Amino acid sequence: MKKLLLYLVLTLLAVFLMAPFAWMVLVSLQPNKAPIPTLEHLIPSHPAWSNYSLVLFEQPTLPVGRFFLNSILVTFCVVFGQLIVSSLAAYGFARLQFKGRDWIFYLFLGSLMFSGPVTQLPVYLIIRSLGWLDTYAALIVPGVSSAFSVFLLRQAFMAVPMELDEAARIDGAGDLRIYARVVLPLSGAALATCSAFSFFAVWTDFFWPLLSTNSSSMRTLEVGLSVFKSSYGNTNWPLQMTATVVVMIPLLVAFLVSQRYFTKGITIGSIK
């Protein structure tokens, strides 16, 4: 009885959380330019799958396909860059000793507090003075290192036993070798968590790409979608929802693939 009640509550909650998505998909399959259907007519008799090819490939002023490619390129470069730059720094902070180490690490931690609105405008000015506005460099370079990733990877690297380093050193390995052949291979889970977090942060970033790009060929999917909204806002709901589904699907796939690294979060990284 208690179990039944629990399932009932869980199911109601799931309906509350999932209904908007179901509604989104159903509206996206209404005929192009149709008004929003009433609930009774929500399930389309002839699903308009053509909306999807229309949105992806046949919008000359709003190249959603191009937005998609931009998002993939930018996200890949940022995630990959972060993995290298942040893991190098994390190795330094976790396993080497040098003057000022802890002090510099506190700077990284402190920056987590004041990132965001305060620093965006000066970063914009830096990118502008480099002549990088509206280029991939503007979208990628400010993201290739993240204090959060450094922090997360440092925690994981500290859990790798020091004796492994000592053994490798006796065999004549240098620090770069220990980093690449000992510490990184034993921190796969942390690297995956780190990639998952930065993937979602970059793919759904809105404010920075909005500021740093303005031509439609440089827009990412997230910003492109907001432009799409201003163009189709209140006139074409099915197409609007189609574009929304297009943005959501890669996120959903990525989440289902990576979710175990999500829920483990910061606590992982200890080897057995």
Amino acid making up residue 180:
A
Residue that has been written with the tokens 């483990």 in this structure: 264
Candidates 14-22, 45-53, 132-140, 187-195 — which segment interacts with other proteins by CB under 8 A? 14-22
- 216 part of the interface to other proteins, by CB under 8 A: no
- 253 part of the interface to other proteins, by CB under 8 A: no
Residue 122-141 contact track with other proteins, rule CB under 8 A, x = bound: xx-xx---------------
Residue closest to 73 by CA, chosen among 220, 217, 224, 249: 220
- 49 part of the interface to other proteins, by CB under 8 A: no
Range 50-69, binding other proteins (CB under 8 A): none
Residue 160-189 contact track with other proteins, rule CB under 8 A, x = bound: --x------x-----x---x----------
- 235 part of the interface to other proteins, by CB under 8 A: no
Instruction: Provide, rounded to whole angstroms, the least separation between the CB of residue 222 and other proteins.
Output: 5
Rounded Cα distance, 97 and 191, in Å: 23
Candidates 51-59, 131-139, 183-191, 201-209 — which segment interacts with other proteins by CB under 8 A? 201-209
Question: Considering only residues 64, 95, 160, 242, which one is a binding residue for other proteins as defined by CB under 8 A?
Answer: 95
- 21 part of the interface to other proteins, by CB under 8 A: yes
- 257 part of the interface to other proteins, by CB under 8 A: no
| Residues that contact other proteins, how many (by CB under 8 A) | 87
Question: Considering only residues 1, 20, 45, 170, which one is a binding residue for other proteins as defined by CB under 8 A?
Answer: 20
Rounded Cα distance, 71 and 21, in Å: 22
Residues 6 or more apart whose CB falls under 8 angstroms from that of 61 comprise: 216, 231
- 255 part of the interface to other proteins, by CB under 8 A: yes
Question: Considering only residues 167, 185, 207, 257, which one is a binding residue for other proteins as defined by CB under 8 A?
Answer: 207
Residue 91: other Cβ atoms inside 10 A: 22
The dihedral built from the CA positions of residue 108, 113, 119 and 123, taken in this order, carries a sign that is positive
Rounded Cα distance, 173 and 183, in Å: 13
Residue that has been written with the tokens 């907001």 in this structure: 226
- 78 part of the interface to other proteins, by CB under 8 A: no
- 151 part of the interface to other proteins, by CB under 8 A: no
Residue closest to 155 by CA, chosen among 265, 264, 269: 269
- 244 part of the interface to other proteins, by CB under 8 A: yes
- 148 part of the interface to other proteins, by CB under 8 A: no
Burial 144-177 (b: 16+ CB within 10 A, else e): bbbbbbbbbbbbbbeebeeeebeebeeeebeeee
- 103 part of the interface to other proteins, by CB under 8 A: no
Rounded Cα distance, 214 and 206, in Å: 13
